[in-house]
Copies of this chain bind each other. A is one copy, B any other.
């Protein structure tokens, strides 16, 4: 079994209103010195070993987990001994 972690973030240059809002909320609560806040998606899941090839995971990301027009993605995989 493989544990897959996918990180989806907005591409550089794409406006991130959610990030801006969180940054302002932090500032309003007195947390200073925070800049360039970007908010994205984090997904964790398990895959059968045979299914967990790079091409398969990239296809999943590009077809469903991330929007290739405005988002970048990266992923990490981790062998899981018993699940």
Contacts and interface: CB of A to CB of B under 8 A. Distances in A.
B35 A45 contact: yes
A8 B46 contact: no
Interface in A1-56: 7-9, 19, 22-23, 25-26, 29, 31-48, 50-52, 56
Contacts of A9: 42, 44
Contacts of A81: none
Number of chain A interface residues as a range: 35 or more
Given A44-B9, A45-B38, A50 B33 contact: yes
B33 A52 contact: yes
Contacts of A36: 44-46
